[in-house]
């Protein structure tokens, strides 16, 4: 299974300067997702799922790469994405860990929706199958964590009711679902209501 691998150029600036108040808010909903098996780790040890919160403008705090299997996160498990460039397939992040492999996807959601302040990416096979093509669904040939997925997010905002329903099925990313909202409560509740 191709999971958890960073597919963009990551300009990582090691730092311990992570806002604790934002980490606390992220951890509340990250724990809900983890306890429900929506963020976690596969038997082969590969973690899945991630969560982010807009920090300022186009910057956002996101769970770090390979943190899905950790039961409880702290500030050492988050990274602040400070810049991204789709043309160069790159992100710049700072923190104690590299940003999630889904960072470009989160970045495009924030770019396309100024009202969005939180994004949650989960895995759930049953929900993925039930929602497929019933909510905005990415094309099957589009892989997670790529510029192609970021461009697909933009297409879904332009061509579907995504800005209203705030949930995406990633057809080319088995089990992958994304929700977003004005805050973590809205993004989380959208997912929980579908289970």
1 domain residue, yes or no: no
Structure confidence by residue, pLDDT tens digits, 50-91: 999 999 999 999 999 999 999 999 999 999 999 999 999 999
Residue 118 lies in a domain: yes
Asked if the structure places residue 20 within a domain, the reply is yes
Question: Which CATH number goes with the domain that contains 59?
Answer: 3.40.225.10
Taking residues 98-107, report their average pLDDT: 96
The span from the CA of 100 to the CA of 104, in Å, is: 9
Residue 8 has pLDDT above 70, yes or no: yes
For 112-165, the pLDDT digits (tens) are 999 999 999 999 999 999 999 999 999 999 999 999 999 999 999 999 999 999
Tens-digit pLDDT profile for residues 25-52: 999 999 999 999 999 999 988 899 999 9
What pLDDT is attached to residue 1?
43
Q: How many domains does the chain have?
A: 1
Kindly state whether residue 4 falls inside one of the protein's structural domains: no
Domain of residue 82: give its range.
Answer: 9-194
pLDDT in the model for residue 4: 57
- The pLDDT score that the predictor gives to residue 77 is 97
pLDDT at 194: 96
CB 27 within 8 A of CB 87: no
75 assigned to some structural domain: yes
46 belongs to a structural domain: yes
Per-residue pLDDT tens over the stretch 161-195: 999 999 999 999 999 999 999 999 999 999 999 99
Whether residue 3 is contained in a domain is answered as no
CA atoms of 91 and 104, how far apart (whole Å): 7
With H, G, I as helix, E, B as strand and everything else as coil, classify residue 181: strand
* Residue 48 · residue 38 · CB < 8 Å: no
Confirm whether 2 is domain-assigned: no
Residue 5 pLDDT: 73
Contacts with 136 (C-beta within 8 Å, 6 or more apart), sequence order: 156, 160, 161, 162, 165, 167, 168, 169
């Amino acid at each position: 299974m191709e999971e958890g691998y960073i597919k963009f150029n990551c300009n990582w600036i090691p730092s311990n300067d992570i806002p604790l108040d934002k980490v606390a808010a992220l951890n509340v909903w990250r724990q809900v997702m983890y306890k429900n098996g929506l963020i976690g780790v596969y038997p082969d040890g590969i973690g899945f799922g991630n969560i982010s919160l807009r920090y300022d403008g186009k910057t956002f705090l996101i769970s770090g790469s390979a943190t899905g299997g950790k039961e409880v996160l702290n500030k050492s498990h988050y990274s602040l994405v400070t810049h991204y460039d789709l043309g160069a397939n790159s992100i710049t992040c700072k923190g104690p860990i590299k940003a999630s492999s889904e960072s470009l996807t989160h970045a495009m959601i924030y770019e396309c929706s100024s009202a969005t302040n939180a994004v949650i990416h989960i895995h759930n096979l049953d929900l993925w199958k039930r929602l497929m093509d019933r909510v905005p669904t990415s094309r099957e040939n589009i892989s997670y964590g790529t510029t192609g997925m970021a461009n697909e997010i933009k297409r879904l905002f332009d061509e579907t009711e995504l800005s209203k329903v705030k949930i995406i099925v990633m057809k080319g990313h088995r089990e992958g679902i994304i929700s977003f909202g004005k805050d973590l409560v809205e993004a989380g509740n959208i997912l929980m209501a579908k289970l």
